[in-house]
Amino acid sequence: MLLAILIYITGAFGSTTTRCKESERHALLKIKENLRGHGDGFLTSWGNEEEKRECCEWIGIRCDNKSGHVIRLDLSPSTLGRGLFDPFEGNLSYSLVDLQYLHYLDLSFIQFYENSITSFIGSLSKLRYLNLSYTNMTGDDLPQLGNLSSLQFLDLCYNDNLEIKNMEWASHLSSLQLLDLSYTNMSFAYDWENVVNNLPHLKYLKLIYCDLPDIVLPSLSVVNSSKVLAIIDLSYNYDLSSSIFQGFSTIAIVLFILTSLIAY
């Protein structure tokens, strides 16, 4: 009986302790402050009020069960239940760097104002998933993404003004399984094939409509890959010639041909 009461009491206390870290809650509120959404549904669960103290229960947030640190920030349309092209825009607050335990960051379909995006994401060293597709990202400030050595999924597609001048940064992402750079500008990324070919865990590669440079470099013949890419989609890259076939394994070539046929 006494034991039951004790369990009841500790249970009750347990449920009133807030897991959310004060500094991380503060950072999340700063992130919200810098964004604008329209309509009633704009991050209403996020707030300063006493009853909203537990940021681990805010929509789009997940905390680590043990430490209470925020490990997931997902503001994607599907998670928030907003329409794909509902206006959702603003600046990315520098406070994001206070969320050092993030594993998962999805800011897809937020229209960020000028160049506000990549400059400090490289410091979130625990990231495994980063989705910045459709975020109006501009410039060529990607090298610091090379610091994200745990990254497994990277989606930067549909940022037409993003110029990826070389892929050296990606060669440091040795855990990468999925890479989608479709609809970015890679017209000067001559090293792309060499880099992706040397990523040991890469399975999904999408470089649709990237204006890829044709690769007819003699160095290609020394590319030696025993890795099998499961899916590779290079459609709508009009300058590419069949010379890239040398570098990839058979399955990749088959898929390349398939996607080329679909494309033309």
Ligand X SMILES: *[C@@H]1O[C@H](CO)[C@@H](O)[C@H](O)[C@H]1NC(C)=O
Q: Are 45 and 52 in contact (CB under 8 A)?
A: yes
Q: Which residues pair with residue 185 across a beta bridge?
A: 163
Query: Per rule CB under 6 A, is residue 36 in the interface with ligand X?
Result: yes
* Size of the residue set binding ligand X (CB under 6 A): 32
Mapping DSSP onto H, E and C, the string for 26-79 reads: HHHHHHHHCEEECCCCCCCCCCCCHHHCCHHHCCCEEECCCCCCEEEEECCHHH
Query: Per rule CB under 6 A, is residue 224 in the interface with ligand X?
Result: yes
Query: Per rule CB under 6 A, is residue 135 in the interface with ligand X?
Result: no
Query: Per rule CB under 6 A, is residue 133 in the interface with ligand X?
Result: yes
Binding mask 225-264 for ligand X (x = CB under 6 A): ----------------------------------------
Query: Per rule CB under 6 A, is residue 54 in the interface with ligand X?
Result: no
Query: Per rule CB under 6 A, is residue 114 in the interface with ligand X?
Result: yes
**Beta strands across the sheet bearing 88-90:** 35-37, 88-90, 111-112
Query: Per rule CB under 6 A, is residue 187 in the interface with ligand X?
Result: yes
Q: Are 146 and 122 in contact (CB under 8 A)?
A: yes
Q: Which is nearer to ligand X, 156 or 195 (CB)?
A: 156
- The binder of ligand X chosen from 89, 141, 168, 214 (CB under 6 A): 89
Q: Which residues pair with residue 153 across a beta bridge?
A: 129, 178
- The binder of ligand X chosen from 155, 191, 193, 233 (CB under 6 A): 155
- The binder of ligand X chosen from 25, 28, 29, 34 (CB under 6 A): 34
Question: Closest distance between ligand X and the C-beta of residue 9, in Å?
Answer: 21
Q: Which is nearer to ligand X, 1 or 255 (CB)?
A: 255
Q: Are 242 and 222 in contact (CB under 8 A)?
A: no
- Judged by DSSP in three states, 206 sits in strand
Give the position of tokens 């940021």.
Answer: 55
Q: Which is nearer to ligand X, 3 or 48 (CB)?
A: 48
- The binder of ligand X chosen from 182, 185, 194, 237 (CB under 6 A): 185
What are the CA-CA distances from residue 235 to residues 66, 198, 238, 251 (Å)?
45, 21, 8, 16
**Nearest-CA neighbor of 98 among 25, 205, 48, 201?**
25
Binding-site ranges for ligand X (CB under 6 A): 34, 36, 65, 76-78, 89-91, 108-109, 111, 113-114, 122-123, 131, 133, 136, 138, 144, 147, 153, 155, 161, 163, 178, 185, 187-188, 211, 224
